[in-house]
Structure 1
Amino acid sequence: MLANSPVESFSFAGREIFLKRDDLLHPAFSGNKARKFAYFLDQEFAGVTKLIGHGSAQANSLYSLSALAKLKGWQCDFYVDHIASQVLTLPTGNYAAAIANGTNVIDLSNLLAANTSVQAGKSDWHCQRYIEQRVLPAETNALFIPEGGRCQYAEYGVSQLAAEIETWTMQQGMTDLKVFLPAGTGTTALFLNQYFMRKQSDIRVFTCAVVGGDTYLRQQFDLLNPNSAEHPQILNADKKYHFGKLYPEFYAMWQRICASGVQFELLYDPLGFMVLEKFLPQWGASPVMYIHQGGLLGNETMLPRYLRKFGRTR
């Protein structure tokens, strides 16, 4: 099992922040996806020869699933709603790395256009529905993992992460630790806080919504655990940001945090650190840990976009 990522000290906003380096878990299988997919790596699946997933053509989960399939000796089929022409012309980032791992990235829009049997009502098809109704019935040797790893199986690896944090705080003689991480589906944040609550630990988890807003994030929590008392606390940014859009303040924050010598990714971490900086004064002298969730391959596509829009400012 991949475990026991190091904890480093990190100076941010005049405070010492402890950085849980999950980006260092494994060269090809790291970050929050390694935690969420750990169950599938550690368990034996007799008869399984193929892994099926879905999401965007540059999703971190695409690369992570391709790496998982390679480690297990499985074929990986990953369905996307569409693949942008520039990605096909010049493959980079998670898409290119997944292709190099042997993954079949399947464009659902092309599949529907060529398949007359699903032409009627084809606008209603989306990847998960298509996989469940058209693919899985014929793929008896396939294992299907929902988008982004939002499933109960994620609790296995995230609980291991929580146990590592708990052990580390005990070794440090630390109390009242605040753990912070930005959220997509919120799966990692939810299962972390659930673990600490059920262990009656004084460690608490805080997060912010990067994909969608707070309402969306609460809905994701409810899908996995309807007990809101065990949910992590959601913190707000000062304004609404649209996922994947380029913002000068994100770029500036990314440059600030990378100046430490640790590389962060451009999609989640900038907003995460902006929210963290806003709330740090409210936490007094409590120790704070930020979880580095990997995803650095995504910078291969995000950074050129920022450079084209804002240029090099460092």
Structure 2
Amino acid sequence: MLPTSIDKITIDGRIFYVKRDDLYDPHLSGNKFRKLHKLIQTPKENLDKLISYGGTQSNAMLAIAKLCHLKGWEFIYYTKPISDAQKQQNSGNFYEAVKLSMKHIEIEHDRYKEEISNLRFNLDSKTYIVDQGGAVSEAEDGLKVLADEIKEQLKGLDVKSLATPSGTGTTALFLAKALPEYKVYTTPCVGDIEYLKTQMSALVDHLPDNLIILEPKKKYHFAKLYPSFLEIYKKLLNAGIEFDLLYAPGMWEALLEQTDEEVLYIHSGGVSGNKTMLERYMKITLSSKPTRSG
């Protein structure tokens, strides 16, 4: 596994560096291949099956599906009920994961938490559960590899701040722990700051002092469409790099408004889901246009 490259871009007159973890693999990329490092290194004969759960726009879902496809492992993924329209889509993370032989099981809303909590009962030795979003302590191994790459690649550059958006906060947490000499910025993309701290605190005894959680501009709901997010996406695309539409816009918004130094942004991948997100943006754009009478 070769170190991923670092590119330099200019946004609003500011220089940013971008660690291109999105280029590792179209499906198994970004912070997901870092979190899954231990499983990537696991000999295929050691396991038969991976189980996970969460949302059907999940980048982790697609990454695990690709990993299982490469290893020849069965992959079972649990979600709450989804619409027939989504099941029939011919693009997006869910579609790609099913193509990679993911077995999808729906659980009714009122039974979901109980069923997920029961998944660990009666597991055999060749079945492994990956918690939602890859939020497992084993992710620290892969993020230590990332931290070592960053330290080596930033030699000679006057960059002392890193940034990565947070769902569960696993990437930001373990990066901050491994790189105490750097500031590590993050912002919650699911829930608020207190929810994010709770998620992180489940993995460590205390949060590192160099981990800085930036307050979002307003309360954003995950996967909801925001015109400002689309504008940030286009601005970044014009600068030369495509980012995802779920996590990246909120992080970039916070960085541009609340920091002023040069920052290394860890690209989280996830651009495979942009096609369906852009289709959704297109629909609301068309529906909001006035119609001509007459």
TM norm structure 1 = 0.86
Q: CA deviation at 1:289?
A: 0.7
Deviation at 1:252, TM superposition (A): 1.2
Q: Distance between the aligned counterparts of 2:26 and 2:89, measured in 1?
A: 24
Letter in 1 for 2:211: P
Q: Of the candidates 155, 160, 176, which is equivalent to residue 177 of structure 1?
A: 160
Look up the match of 2:175. Answer: 192
Shift of 1:245: 1.3
Conserved? CA contact 1:79–1:127, under 8 Å: no
Q: Does 1:145 align with 2:133?
A: no
1:70 deviates by 1.2
8 Å CA contact 2:161, 2:184 repeated in 1: yes
Please name the residue that 2:185 is paired with: 206
The runs of at least 4 aligned residues of structure 1 exceeding 2 Å deviation read 43-47, 89-92, 122-128, 138-141, 228-231
Taking the TM superposition and a 5 Å limit, the aligned residue runs for 1:152-163 are: 152-163=137-148
CA separation of 1:124 and 1:55: change in aligned 2, threshold 3 A: closer
**2:251 partner amino acid:** G
Does residue 7 in structure 1 map to residue 37 in structure 2? no
Q: Is the 8 A contact 2:159 2:264 kept in 1?
A: no
Deviation of residue 84 (structure 1)?
1.9
For 1:71 and 1:127, how far apart are their aligned partners in 2?
A: 28
Q: How far apart are 1:45 and its partner, in Å?
A: 6.2
Give the letter for the 1:255 counterpart.
K
Are 1:309 and 2:262 matched, yes or no? no
Determine the structure 1 residue equivalent to 2:22.
23
Contact kept, 8 Å, 2:19 with 2:266, in 1: the verdict is yes
Do structure 1's residue 62 and structure 2's residue 45 form an aligned pair? no
After superposition, the Cα gap between the structure-2 partners of 1:127 and 1:258, relative to the gap in structure 1 and judged at 3 Å, is farther
Tell me, in whole angstroms, the C-alpha distance in 2 between the residues paired with 1:250 and 1:42. 36
Task: Give SS of 2:186's match.
Answer: strand
Match of 2:120 among 132, 139, 144: 132
Structure that is richer in helix per residue = 1
Partner of 1:267: 246
Q: Please report how far the alpha carbon of residue 305 of structure 1 lies from its aligned counterpart in structure 2 after TM superposition.
A: 0.9
Question: How much does 1:44 deviate?
Answer: 2.8
Which secondary structure state, in structure 2, belongs to the residue aligned with residue 272 of structure 1? helix
After TM superposition, the structure 1 = structure 2 runs for residues 82-97 of structure 1, keeping only pairs within 5 Å, are 82-97=81-96
Deviation at 1:14, TM superposition (A): 0.6
Counterpart contact for 1:265–1:294, Cα < 8 Å: yes
For 1:298, the equivalent position in structure 2 comes to: 273
Report percent identity of matched pairs: 32
Amino acid at match of 1:7: I
Return the TM-score normalized by structure 2. Answer: 0.91
- Does the aligned pair in 2 maintain the 1:183–1:189 contact within 8 Å? yes
Distance 1:94 1:124 in 2: 21
C-alpha separation in 2, matches of 1:67 and 1:77? 12
* Distance in structure 2 (CA, Å) of the matches to 1:167 and 1:276: 24
Q: In the alignment, which residue of structure 2 is the partner of 1:103? A: 102
Deviations 1:235-258 (A, max 9, x none): 112222111111111111111111
Instruction: Name which of structure 1's ranges 262-271 and 122-131 shifts more when overlaid on structure 2.
Output: 122-131
Matched, 1:235 2:235: no
- Report how many residues are paired: 287
Tell me the residue number matched to 1:38. Answer: 37
Q: Unpaired segments of 5 or more residues in structure 2?
A: 288-294
Answer whether contact 2:173 2:208 (CA < 8 A) is retained: no
Output the aligned Cα RMSD. 2.0
Cα deviation, 1:115-160, whole Å, max 9, x if unaligned, reads: xxxxxxx646445214224xxx154431111111101100011111
Q: What secondary structure does 1:79 align onto? A: strand
Q: Where do 5+ consecutive residues of structure 1 fail to align? A: 113-121
